[in-house]
Amino acid sequence: MQENTQAPIEEKPSTTRRKREKAYRERTILDAALSLFVEKGFHQTSASEIANAAEVSVGTVYFYFKNKETLLIRLTEEIAYELRKLVGSEFSQSDGSLDGFRRAGISFFKDFCIPHPEKVTLLFREAVGHSEEVEKARKRGFTQLTEDVRKAILFMAENMNRPLTTPESAEVLAVSIVGIYERVAYNYLFWNDDKADILKVGDDAVTFLVAGVERFLKP
């Protein structure tokens, strides 16, 4: 009688294992795809290359992902999400001052660009302009990130008791800030070998943008 009342929500252990394995396969394939897309470019990477790199068959790749585009979309979404989480957590730890703002910026370079250059490459280069669907995912990611930044500006303004001169400008500032991060990363990560100074450079960029933001705060 009570046998099956115990854990009606719990899955059978084998199901759990299956899910775990499934997730693991998916991960392996995504990782292989990320590496290859970044290394050779999306169009130059064939499905069977991904399969090889992931040590599965082509069929398996298509069992887990509808098509190649889906892989790119998934990666784009994942990475955009990761970036938001990082920046967001930095903000949430901040005290709502301009200084918290600084820290979030620095963190982008230190904790995202430096350890995960391949993710930067995918988001800022490989996912650009490939198809409607990919662009949609990219837009979503950037829009949300921008929105986060916008809210952070407003929160900070309120917290400092220095309201924005024109509150509707918060969005442009956010967009600009994202633009700065994007291009600075691109320039100093891909186009300059001198990767050492990205932190120094990032610091200047942050100083620059903080000053820009301040310009929009009432005294």
Partner DNA sequence: GATGAATGAGCTTTCATTCAT
Partner DNA sequence: TATGAATGAAAGCTCATTCAT
Site residues (vs a second copy, CB under 8 A): 41-44, 125-126, 128-131, 139, 142-143, 146, 166, 169, 172-173, 175-176, 178-184, 187-188, 191, 201, 204-205, 207-209, 211-216
Segment interacting with DNA, rule: CB under 7 A, options 2-10, 61-69, 137-145, 149-157: 61-69
131 makes contact with DNA (CB under 7 A):
no
Q: What's the burial of 181, exposed, middle or buried (CB within 10 Å: 0-12/13-18/19+)?
A: buried
DSSP 4: G
CA–CA dist 110, 189 (Å, integer): 12
CA–CA dist 111, 81 (Å, integer): 14
Neighbour-count burial for 91-126, b at 16+ CB within 10 Å, e otherwise: beebebebebbbbbbbbbbeebbbebbbbbbbbbbb
62 makes contact with DNA (CB under 7 A):
yes
58 makes contact with DNA (CB under 7 A):
yes
Q: Which is nearer to DNA, 59 or 219 (CB)?
A: 59
Segment interacting with DNA, rule: CB under 7 A, options 44-52, 109-117, 161-169, 188-196: 44-52
59 makes contact with DNA (CB under 7 A):
yes
Q: What's the burial of 20, exposed, middle or buried (CB within 10 Å: 0-12/13-18/19+)?
A: exposed
Task: Please report, as a single letter, which amino acid is at residue 162.
Answer: R
Q: Which is nearer to a second copy, 27 or 40 (CB)?
A: 40
Q: Report in angstroms how near the CB of residue 5 gets to a second copy at its nearest.
A: 31
Q: Which is nearer to DNA, 68 or 150 (CB)?
A: 68
**Residue in 16, 39, 41, 46 binding DNA, rule: CB under 7 A:** 46
Contact partner at residue 67 from a second copy, DNA, none, CB < 5 to 8 Å by partner kind: DNA
Say if residues 86 and 149 touch (Cβ distance below 8 Å): no
DSSP 189: I
**Residue in 11, 27, 39, 57 binding DNA, rule: CB under 7 A:** 57
CA–CA dist 42, 56 (Å, integer): 19
Q: Which is nearer to DNA, 60 or 169 (CB)?
A: 60
CA–CA dist 218, 128 (Å, integer): 37
Q: Which residues bind DNA (CB under 7 A)?
A: 14, 18, 21-22, 25, 43-48, 56-60, 62-64, 66-69
